[in-house]
Amino acid sequence: MGLSVGIVGLPNVGKSTIFNALTAAGAESANYPFCTIDPNVGIVAVPDPRLKRIQAHIPTQSVIPTSVEIVDIAGLVKGASKGEGLGNKFLANIRETDAILHVVRCFDDPNIVHVDGSVDPIRDVEIIELELAFSDLDSIDKRLRKAQSLARTGKQEAKDELVLLERLHAHVEQGLPARSLPVDDDERARLNSWNLLTNKPVLYCCNVAEEDASSGNAWSQAVAARAARDGSGCVVVSGVIEAELAVLEESERGELLEAYGLEEPALHNLIRACYTLLGLQSYFTAGEKEIRAWTIRVGDTAPKAAGVIHTDFERGFIRANVYTLEDLEQHGTESAIRAAGKLRSEGRDYVVRDGDIIHFLFNV
């Protein structure tokens, strides 16, 4: 897919701790602003319990999850849109990603200096979003000037673009993100092509202290409420716990999770949320050699899904034999599913559903 999520936030909010835990890098970042100058990129496996459920019925040599790309971008500061704190470079790094994971400090620790002197997550969120909005307004202004010239030629397309840009400028100027502008499908396609920072989908990650890992706190609740107003998601993570879990063997994690009242590492939920944020879903192939999750966009048809395995599969697509995990757990084997009349034969127009188990037939 080549899609990525960029981790952003103010300095010293725990971005690199969470990134290192995500990638199991385990390295501790220094306690000072701009500790990550160039973005670090990690390919992170997407935890999916369905793979083991499939393996319980189809013994296999290997199980291969899908993955998502996470980019750790250095801390933004107030004035980044005007070049403060290497701001232009950082904003350019965000522009290259497809979605934003906004890490917000929701813990108090006198040993970790806050760049603004106190813990106030809503203020922190607004600082970042204001810088992204300022950067977008610069881009919109340039497009506006060009569109005004083109609209004078009388071309309807240029006039339509000018109207959209004027609405967008007024919207973003009010401090509202471009993604929340009400638009029709044609306008959405045009808006998406402009690669604006505030048009990217956002997931807020509240980094809390260990004692707040299972239930969050007043700070994280305030961020969640703000996220809900914006139509964005919000997850609670304790970077300290996740960093500790990342260096433990899987068999050793249970005791630590239980001590903090967690059923699984919070990062598992975070990774799945990032995957969804990108508009992605998984289907599975299952056989004696391997069980594997494949990444597709929500809404992809069967030939498109086949093409993720190999372009020949899409080019020579004949049909897809499809069943569900529930079918497998009820009947035990693919042959039993077929005998029960539950194995579906789907054609070129079939829209693949999340969790489908598929065998493609093709001819090149």
Say if residue 86's pLDDT is above 60: no
DSSP 8-state secondary structure symbol assigned to residue 351:
B
Give the per-residue pLDDT at 39.
Answer: 57
Per residue in 225-284, pLDDT (tens digit) is 999 988 899 999 999 999 999 888 888 889 899 999 999 999 999 999 999 999 999 999
Domains of the chain are: 4-277 (3.40.50.300), 299-362 (3.10.20.30)
3-state DSSP percent of the chain in helix, strand and coil, to 5? 45, 20, 35
Give the per-residue pLDDT at 88.
Answer: 65
Report, as an integer, the average pLDDT of 28-34: 36
Per-residue confidence band for 36, with pLDDT thresholds at 50, 70 and 90:
very low
Q: What is the 3-state secondary structure (H, E, C) of 146-174?
A: HHHHHHCCCCHHHHHHHHHHHHHHHHHHC
Q: Collapse the DSSP code of 51 into the 3-class scheme (helix H, G, I; strand E, B; otherwise coil) and give the result.
A: helix
Give the per-residue pLDDT at 151.
Answer: 85
Partners of 205 in beta bridges: 103, 235
For the full predicted model, state whether its pTM sits above 0.75.
yes
What length does the chain have?
364
Tally Cβ neighbours within 10 Å of residue 204.
26
Q: What is the 3-state secondary structure (H, E, C) of 186-236?
A: HHHHHHHHCCCHHHCCEEEEEEECHHHCCCCCHHHHHHHHHHHHHCCEEEE
Least confident among 27-36, 38-47, 197-206: 27-36
Decide: 321 and 327 in contact? Cβ < 8 Å. no
What span, in angstroms and rounded, lies between the C-alpha atoms of 126 and 137? 16
Decide: 294 and 359 in contact? Cβ < 8 Å. no
